[in-house]
A and B are shown apart, each in its own frame.
Chain A
Amino acid sequence: MKFRNRRTDLLTCEDCIHLLLDYADGSMDSEVRSKLDEHLSACPPCQHYLRSYSSCTEMVQQLRDQEAQVPGELQDRLKSFLKEQVNLPWPEPRRRRAKWSKRS
């Protein structure tokens, strides 16, 4: 992997922030991870950035499987609709045009 600061092979803040997804998701190889850890240990702004990035991701995860209010009137409409539709035939899937067929 090539980093921005090729001369010293040390990571910059820009490298660090570009790598946060793999870092936060735990899908980073150990060599890159140790370089990133080295940068983080000496860079408070990136430490703040990583903490808020991870916090934000965890907050989004809290939205998982949240139930929503479904108004009773909508439920009634859904029930009527489903009973009306379930016995109707499915629309036939459109057939793909064969590759060799001539366009009219």
Chain B
Amino acid sequence: MKAKTLDQGNLIEGLKSRDTKVIDTFVDQFSRPLFGVILNYTKNPSDAEEILQDTLLRVIRKIDTFRQQSDIWPWMKRIAVNNSIMWLRKRKRQREIQLDDWMPRFREDGELTYPIFGWTGDPEEVFLNRELSAQLYDAIQSLPFQYRAPLVLRDIDGYPIRQIASLLGLKEATTKTRIHRARLFLREKLARYHDGRT
């Protein structure tokens, strides 16, 4: 059965007045897409659930500050992203992989030290090949937070470098370096997957 949805105006008015039926519909309508955003930052289900709960509550409490002329989804998504970053910063460090082991290696003269396994994939393959999609998702999640956050903000959530730098309190050059290293890591992970080395 398809869940009931509300148009933006009714949703905002209902949340402002704390209408319990509107709150139910709000959860039905937005918990899935918001959970999708949050799961890009953490795969830990209990963390993701707490972040989702806190995000939904913040959306309701901040609804008076939302400008009605614009689309509400990017505003909600930004709250979910900020919340995920804040939450994950507080977490104790987990065992982290060493990115250097996955970076390309060069000879003294700057040439690559090993043959490059040439693969290209159709981006749509991520949808069709569940194993590949799981490999990619696990690879992103295995990145240390300082690399995962800028990568997800850039490549999944589509924020510009300047905004990511400001959000994470980094210089733009550092932000770019981290995104690049994260991409190199993912490339190598997928190369080994395609090459049957995993």
Residues of A within 8 A of B (CB): 4-5, 12-15, 17-18, 20-22, 44-49, 51-53, 55-70, 74-75, 78-79, 81-83, 85-87, 90
The contact of B32 among A14, A61, A68, A81, by CB within 8 Å, is: A68
- Asked whether, in the complex, the Cβ of A68 is within 8 Å of the Cβ of B35, the reply is yes
- Asked whether, in the complex, the Cβ of A78 is within 8 Å of the Cβ of B36, the reply is no
- What is the chain A residue whose CB lies nearest that of B15? A86
- Asked whether, in the complex, the Cβ of A61 is within 8 Å of the Cβ of B156, the reply is yes
Nearest CB in chain B: distance from A27 CB, A:
8
- Asked whether, in the complex, the Cβ of A52 is within 8 Å of the Cβ of B120, the reply is yes
Could you tell me the distance between the alpha carbons of A69 and B116 in the complex, rounded to whole angstroms?
A: 38
Given the interface pairs A45-B116, A75-B28, the reply to whether A86 lies near B23 with Cβ below 8 Å is: yes
- What is the chain A residue whose CB lies nearest that of B186? A56
Nearest CB in chain B: distance from A73 CB, A:
11
Q: Which of A45, A49, A59, A90 has the most CB of B within 10 A?
A: A59
Q: Which bracket fits the contact residues of B?
A: 35 or more
Q: Which of B52, B111, B115, B116 has the most CB of A within 10 A?
A: B116
Q: Which of A14, A47, A60, A67 has the most CB of B within 10 A?
A: A60
- Asked whether, in the complex, the Cβ of B110 is within 8 Å of the Cβ of A56, the reply is no
Contact residues in B for A90 (Cβ distance below 8 Å): 61
Q: A45-B112, A86-B18 are in contact. List 18 more A-B contacts (CB 8 A).
A: A4-B110, A13-B110, A17-B112, A18-B180, A21-B176, A21-B179, A48-B117, A55-B119, A59-B190, A63-B137, A67-B36, A68-B35, A68-B36, A70-B52, A78-B56, A79-B23, A79-B24, A82-B60
